[in-house]
Structure 1
C-alpha cells in the first residue's frame, strides 16, 4: 500500500456480498484530488472506485459516505465515525476488457483508489457496433456514456421521471442516438421502432427519421386506421355493444362467425383453412351487416295462422343504418306477434348503431380502405397495414394518438399492440418477423394503461410482450412519470432503468425495488438530479452511472416545453373572439377555423419589360 499515491482512498474493512465497507485514509484531508492535471471529487455518492486484485481490478459505485456507512460493530468503538464509505461492487476488468459481474471478492485491507479518467475510458471508451452513445458522465463530461443496443431492446427498458425532468427530450435523444441519422454510414437504417405518442410531442423531434400516422392528421401526416375486424371478438364487442351476458354474447359471436365464414367461402384467404376459422380470426366482416341482421331478427313481428309470416312494412338499409320496420305486435290473438326467439339485445344494438354513427371513432369502425363492404370485401388487407406501419423506408413509426377519445384510448393501444405482436409472433421465422428484424415498441404515458388494477387488453398484451417478447424479437420501452402506478410485473421485466428526477417517495420506492443492482444509496439522488440528468442501471449499462443525456438540436426538440408564462403575460391581451376556440372544440381538431376563407390565387404574368 502506498499512501502517497494520489488516487489512494483507504482500505477495505468489511465485505458482505457485493457490498464493501471502506475505511478512508487519515491522509485524505480534502474532498478534492488533483491527478495528472485533472480535478476529482473524493467520496461522492455515485462516483466510482477501483480495488486492485493483482492482474485484474474490481470496480464499484459509492452508495454511502459518512456515519451511516460505519459497520455495526465499529459504531460504538470508532472515534471518527465520519471517515467511512460503502461501495457496491458492479464489475471487473482484466487488461483492457471490462465486464459486469464478479469472479472474486476483495480481501480485508485491500487498497481502494479513485477511478481516474484513464479508468473511465477503460470502462466506457470501448466502442462497438452494439454501443449507442447517449450522453456524458456527470462527473467527467469528456467521457461518453454508451449503452448496449442489444440489451436495451431485447431485455426491455424504462424511462422514468417526474413532469419537467426532461423525460420526453431524453426519449427523443435516445431514439436519435439509436437511429443515428447524422452518422456517416447512416447509423441503423434497418432499425424498426414503433412509438405510441399520446400527446403529439414527437412528430417535430423525429420528423426527419419517422413517418407519422394520426387519428387527426395534419399536413405531412398520414391517417391512422386500425381495422376493427383484426381485434379479438371480446375486445370489439365490449366497446361497440357494452356489457353482455353469456347468452347475449353468444348471439353476437355466432353471427360474427357466420359472417366471417361467408366471407371466407366467397374468397379464400391465404393461410386460413375454413375448418380452423374462429370468431377471433382476422377475417373482414361488416359491422353494418352484423347490426342489420341482428336488429332485423330482434324486431321481427309475425302474422298468419302459423305465426310465420314476417309483417315487414319497410326493409330498411344496412348501409345507412336504417332499421327495417315491422307492424307493431298486438295484444290479442289476431297478431302480429313478437319474435319469441329474440335474444333481448336491442339496447346493445342501439349502442352499436350509435358507435357506427359517431365520427370520433371512424379510425376504428370506418378504417378507410380497410373497411369491409356488406359482403366483407376490403380494398386493402392487413399486409398493407403492417407494411405502412413497419415496412416503410424510415426507421421510426409514430402513431399520434392525441386526437383519440379517452373512452377508447386504452382499448385502441391494446388493439394496436395485439395486431403488431400477433403478426410478428407468428411470422418469427420470416425475414420481416421479429427475430430476423427486431422491433422496439416505445410506450408513452405507460401508467395510463398499465396500472396494477386496470385489467384491460392493453395491460394484458404489454405483460405478454414483457414476459415473452425477448424470444421473438419484440422489445419494450416504457415511459412514465408515475412508476408507482405501473404494474410491478411489467416494470420488473425492464432490464435497464433510466431514472430521471423523481420527487414522489412512492415512485422512488418502486424504482428502487425494480433495480437489478443494489443501489439504494444511488437512488437517493433522484430528487436532486438536474433536468436531463439520469441514473442509468441495468443490463445495457456497463456500470450504474449518473449521466447527462445529450440534448437534440433546437429543431429536433419534442413539443413538450413549458409555456413561457412571463413572456405571454407581459404582453397586453388583444381583443379577440373565442369563436375559433369553440370551432376547434366542436371539431375536435386544433386546426379548425371559424370562418372559411377562400382565397383565389392567380399567377402573375410579367409585363413587356419583364417586370411583375
Structure 2
C-alpha cells in the first residue's frame, strides 16, 4: 500500500458477508474523528464513504451503521465507558468501485474485499469521481437557423442541490441521462416536489451565454396553478406560453412584469375533433360492448355527413359519387326501417322529417320524401277520400333504389364539426343500428346520449367547444396545434423556434377534465413526434404534476382510461424524443408500467407503507438502509438514483428562484390576529 494510503487508513475489515461488511477502527481515539494530512474527517456519518484498495482499484463502501464495544466493561461494570480503549465498528455496504489513479466510478461490486483489508477515508478528489462532478463544460461551435456559427459552452451536468452528508458539496446529474429518459419525482405533500420540478427546469435555462437551452421544449400540465410564477426569473431569451383553462368570459391573469415581453398568454382550447374515438369514449364514459360501437358509428357519420359540402372537401369524382351513394344508402335504410316500425303513422312522419332536417342529400331530402308521407286517418294515402297510395309507393321505390349491399361507413377523420352535429349523428347512428335489427340499442345507449347532452350544456367543457365558424389555423389542423404548443413555426422549408416552455394551467378543471385534456394533448404531441423526420430532432418533456390523478394503476370500468396514452409514451417515447417527468405524492396509485420505464427517481419524504413498498419493488438495487431514510427526510431533501448519477445520493435540493406558487399554510400568523382581522383574499 502506498504511503499516502497508509496515512489515510482508519481501520480494517473484520467481517465480510454477502450484504454487509464490518470495519473496526484503529484504537486510541475517544470518538469517530480521524485527523488526516488534508483535513479532519468525521467518518461516522451515515451515508459517508470509505475506500478499500484492491490491486489497481478501490472498492467504495457506504457507512450504514456505527457501534462500539467497551473492553473494560467486564472488569468494572459500574464504571463509565472508556472511550479510548473501547473498540469502534462501522457497518458498511459495498456500492461500487473505481481505479486508484483516475477513471470513473462504477456502481456495483463484483469482488468483495478480504478480511483485514485496510479501509481509507475518502478525499475530496475521490468524492469528485464518485459524484461525477469533474466534467467541465465543453467549448463548442454551433450553428443557428440561418447557418451562422456561434461560440458557446455546452454543460455535461446540471447542479440539482448539495450533499446532505458532505457539507456544501454539490450534487450534479448528467444532462443526457437525466433528460434522455423518463423521470419520477415522488414524495408526500409538502415535502418539496413542486420546488424540485421547478428547480430542475430553472437549472436547464440558467446558462447566461449564447447556448441557454434554446432548443428545449417543456410542456407543463399544471393542475395546481403553481408553475407560472416559477418562470419569472428565467432569462428574457427563454420564451413561454401560458394557457389557462377557465370558465367562458373569465379573465386570464396578466403576465408578471418580469415575463411581460417573454410570455404569450391565451385561453386553453382543445378542439373536440382532434380527439380519437377512444378519447371520445373517455369523455363520454362509453361502455365497451354496446355504447362504444354506437359512438364509433356516430363519429363516422360526422365524416360522412360533414357540415362542409362534399364538393368542397372531395376532389375525386369517383370518391364523391361513392360518398353520396353511402349517404343515400344510410338515409334510405333508416327511413325504410322507420316506415315499417310499430309506431303510429304521424309519429313515423315526425321522426323521418326530424332526421332529414339535419341529414339529407339531393336525392333523399324533405322535398323528395314528403310527397309520400301524407297521412289520412292514420294511413299513408294520396288524399282524404281515396285509397290511392301512389306517393307512398314511389317513396318506397326511391328508398329501394338507393338501398345497397351493406357498405363500409367512412372512418372518423377528425375534421371540424359542431357538438350539435355529433348529437344529431348519434341519434342517426341509433336509427341505423335499429334498422340493422338491434332494437334495444337506444335503451343501451340512453346514458351515452344523456352524457353527451350534459357535456354540451356544461360550461366546464367550454374549452372543447370551438366554434366551427371562427377557426384559426391551429384549430383546424392538429399538426399546427401541436407546433404552437411546442413553440415552433413553419418558416419556408424549415422551422424556427419561438418558445421553450408551455404552461397549461388546469387548476380550475375537475379531475375528469384534467384526465381528458392531459391525455389528448400528450397523444397529439406523441403522434406528431412519431411522424417527424428525423426522429429525436426536437425532444419534448411533458411535466405531469399530481400524476396519480390521471395515470392510475387501477383502470376504470369504461372503454379506456388516460393512463393508456402515458403508458405508451413511457414504453415507446424514448425513440421519438418524447419524455415524461412524473410528479406524484402517491406512487402506489401510479401506473406501474409508467414507473417501471423511468430511468431516474427523485424521492422526497414518503411515509405511507404502501408507497414505500412500491418504491422498494421498483428499486431492488437500493439498500434497505437508504430506503429507511425516506420517512424521515426533511423538507427540500431527497434521494436521487438512476442512470444520471453514479450512486444513490441524499441531497438538499437547490432553492427554486422564484418558488412555484405553492407554500405551507401559515397557521399561527393567520389565526392569531386582532379583533376584526384583515382577510387577505381576493376574489
Cα separation, partners in 2 of 1:560 and 1:573, compared to 1, 3 Å: farther
* 578, 581, 587: which one aligns with 1:474: 578
Q: Tell me, yes or no, if structure 1 residue 257 matches structure 2 residue 257.
A: no
Paired residue for 1:137? 163
Alignment of 1:256-275 (within 5 A): 256-261=299-304, 263=306
Is the contact made by 1:45 and 1:521 (CA closer than 8 Å) also made in structure 2?
no
Provide the rounded CA distance (Å) in 1 between the counterparts of 2:627 and 2:475: 54
2:605 aligned counterpart, secondary structure: coil
Is the contact made by 2:158 and 2:204 (CA closer than 8 Å) also made in structure 1?
yes
Cα separation, partners in 2 of 1:346 and 1:150, compared to 1, 3 Å: same
Provide the rounded CA distance (Å) in 2 between the counterparts of 1:130 and 1:538: 16
Provide the rounded CA distance (Å) in 2 between the counterparts of 1:375 and 1:173: 38
1:495 aligned counterpart, secondary structure: strand
1:457 aligned counterpart, secondary structure: coil
1:280-307 Cα offsets, whole Å, 9 max, x none, are xxxxxxxxxxxxxxx9999999887997
Provide the rounded CA distance (Å) in 2 between the counterparts of 1:261 and 1:467: 35
Provide the rounded CA distance (Å) in 1 between the counterparts of 2:449 and 2:470: 17
Shift of 1:59: 2.4
* 212, 219, 233: which one aligns with 2:277: 233
Shift of 1:176: 0.8
- Count the aligned residue pairs: 529
1:139-162 Cα offsets, whole Å, 9 max, x none, are 223322110122112331211111
Paired residue for 1:33? 34
Is the contact made by 2:554 and 2:589 (CA closer than 8 Å) also made in structure 1?
no
Paired residue for 1:191? 216
Paired residue for 1:285? none
Shift of 1:419: 1.4
TM-score (norm 1): 0.75
Is the contact made by 1:157 and 1:494 (CA closer than 8 Å) also made in structure 2?
yes
Paired residue for 1:524? 628
Is the contact made by 2:51 and 2:58 (CA closer than 8 Å) also made in structure 1?
yes
Shift of 1:131: 1.0
Paired residue for 1:52? 53
* 476, 480, 483: which one aligns with 1:387: 483
1:426-485 Cα offsets, whole Å, 9 max, x none, are 22x24xx5x112111111112222232135532112221222222221121111112222
Provide the rounded CA distance (Å) in 2 between the counterparts of 1:140 and 1:316: 77
Alignment of 1:78-477 (within 5 A): 83-93=89-99, 95-101=101-107, 104-108=110-114, 109-123=116-130, 124-127=132-135, 128=137, 129-180=155-206, 182-207=207-232, 208=234, 209=238, 210-216=240-246, 217-220=252-255, 221-240=265-284, 242-244=285-287, 246-261=289-304, 263=306, 312=353, 334=379, 341=435, 343-344=441-442, 345=445, 348-364=448-464, 366-367=465-466, 371-373=467-469, 380-392=476-488, 393-427=498-532, 429-430=533-534, 435-455=536-556, 456-477=560-581
Cα separation, partners in 2 of 1:545 and 1:376, compared to 1, 3 Å: closer
Shift of 1:239: 2.2
Shift of 1:230: 1.8
Is the contact made by 1:155 and 1:475 (CA closer than 8 Å) also made in structure 2?
yes
Is the contact made by 2:10 and 2:34 (CA closer than 8 Å) also made in structure 1?
no
Cα separation, partners in 2 of 1:508 and 1:400, compared to 1, 3 Å: same
Cα separation, partners in 2 of 1:305 and 1:483, compared to 1, 3 Å: closer
Provide the rounded CA distance (Å) in 1 between the counterparts of 2:351 and 2:345: 9
2:225 aligned counterpart, secondary structure: coil
2:598 aligned counterpart, secondary structure: coil
Shift of 1:518: 2.9
Greater CA deviation, 197-206 or 39-48? 39-48
Cα separation, partners in 2 of 1:255 and 1:487, compared to 1, 3 Å: closer
Provide the rounded CA distance (Å) in 2 between the counterparts of 1:244 and 1:486: 23
Provide the rounded CA distance (Å) in 2 between the counterparts of 1:215 and 1:159: 25
Greater CA deviation, 94-103 or 300-309? 300-309
Paired residue for 1:571? 673
Provide the rounded CA distance (Å) in 2 between the counterparts of 1:250 and 1:494: 35
Provide the rounded CA distance (Å) in 1 between the counterparts of 2:605 and 2:529: 35
2:468 aligned counterpart, secondary structure: coil
Greater CA deviation, 197-206 or 223-232? 223-232
Is the contact made by 1:32 and 1:42 (CA closer than 8 Å) also made in structure 2?
yes
1:192-221 Cα offsets, whole Å, 9 max, x none, are 111111100111012444322110232233
Shift of 1:505: 2.7
2:581 aligned counterpart, secondary structure: strand
Provide the rounded CA distance (Å) in 1 between the counterparts of 2:314 and 2:475: 14
TM-score (norm 2): 0.68
Greater CA deviation, 568-577 or 298-307? 298-307
1:237-276 Cα offsets, whole Å, 9 max, x none, are 4423x44564554343223223325559655699xxx89x
